[in-house]
Amino acid sequence: MADRVGYSCGGLPPRKVWLDLMATGAKRYFPIFLDLTGQRVLVVGGGRLAEEKLVSLMPFGIDVTLLSPTISDRLRELVNDGAACWLEKSFEASDLGSFSLVYAALGDNEENQAIYDEAVRRGILVNAVDDPTRCRFISAATVKRGDFVIAISTGGKSPAFAQKVRVDLGKQFPEETADLLMLLERIRRRLIANGASLELRKQLMMQLVAHDLLGLQVAGAWDRFDQLMRDAVGFSRAELDQPSIDPPRPTNGR
């Protein structure tokens, strides 16, 4: 007799959470960052909602297609600048065939529902803008500084509060954060080249970032910055590209 693969799923807390959510109709979104390199994203709409969605997608280098019989002057400018392609037509179910992600940006519940139903049927992630009941995912408010990205979500309950938090965090993390992140990556790579183990690298980097490096960078206090680097990882910015040296031992008593 052929071996049978057993499958059981009973009494586990995650399943209870799922059953509770199904019973109440509530949604609980899992935070995730998607790599959409080489993937096509469809935005159905040609007005204000589509404008806002396209502008939010642009910093991430995503291949976006707008689908609408007409588009606003602003969207036309963005299309002419290469920010998106434009399919000058009304939505049909067959339009979803080559897309990995879909935004319904029409502001019409009936049209959103048609797009949502077809996307779900095809297994395509879909979001109806400002219509959380017709979303299989939601787009978080973001603070982006180069590769440093913070995503904020209220689960669709208060986009205004999410935007307020985004503004506050934007002040806390200025544009210089991107440069600091690149420097920290160089430091980490230097430790790898020096032969530091994963555990040691973690300890040394945590010791370094415990200081207000961003504040020192913004203030231009580079002498203090370099001293903290030497104390934590054994080299300064000027020594990053010099021949490898043995990493220091962490000073946390281990």
The predicted-structure confidence for 32-76, as pLDDT tens digits, reads as follows 888 888 889 999 999 999 999 999 999 888 999 999 999 999 999
Q: Of residues 79 and 140, which shows the higher confidence score?
A: 79
Q: How far apart are CA 169 and CA 144, in angstroms?
A: 10
Is the pLDDT confidence value at 1 over 60?
A: no
Q: What is the pLDDT of residue 14?
A: 59
Q: How far apart are CA 139 and CA 132, in angstroms?
A: 11
In this structure, the number of other CB atoms found within 10 A of the CB of residue 14 comes to: 8
Domain 28-139 homologous superfamily, CATH: NAD(P)-binding Rossmann-like Domain (3.40.50.720)
CA proximity to 154, closest of 140, 164, 136, 172: 140
Q: Is the dihedral of CA 68, 72, 75, 80 positive or negative?
A: positive
The one-letter amino acid code at 137 reads F
Q: pLDDT tier at 132 (50, 70, 90 boundaries)?
A: confident
8 A C-beta contact, residue 136 and residue 126: yes
Cα–chain center distance at 54: 15
- Mean model confidence pLDDT for the chain: 88
The one-letter amino acid code at 173 reads F
pTM of the model: 0.73
Q: What is the pLDDT of residue 254?
A: 45
Q: Is the dihedral of CA 158, 34, 199, 204 positive or negative?
A: negative
8 A C-beta contact, residue 148 and residue 174: no
- The full set of domain ranges for the chain reads 28-139, 140-173, 176-239
Which range is least confidently modeled, 13-27, 112-126, 212-226, 239-253?
13-27
Kindly state the average pLDDT of the residues 112-135: 94
Q: pLDDT tier at 148 (50, 70, 90 boundaries)?
A: very high
Q: How far apart are CA 68 and CA 43, in angstroms?
A: 9
Q: What is the pLDDT of residue 13?
A: 56
Q: What is the pLDDT of residue 140?
A: 87
Kindly state the average pLDDT of the residues 194-216: 96
In this structure, the number of other CB atoms found within 10 A of the CB of residue 177 comes to: 20
User: What angle do the packed helices 198-209 and 176-193 form, to 10 degrees?
Assistant: 150
8 A C-beta contact, residue 214 and residue 170: no
Q: pLDDT tier at 161 (50, 70, 90 boundaries)?
A: very high
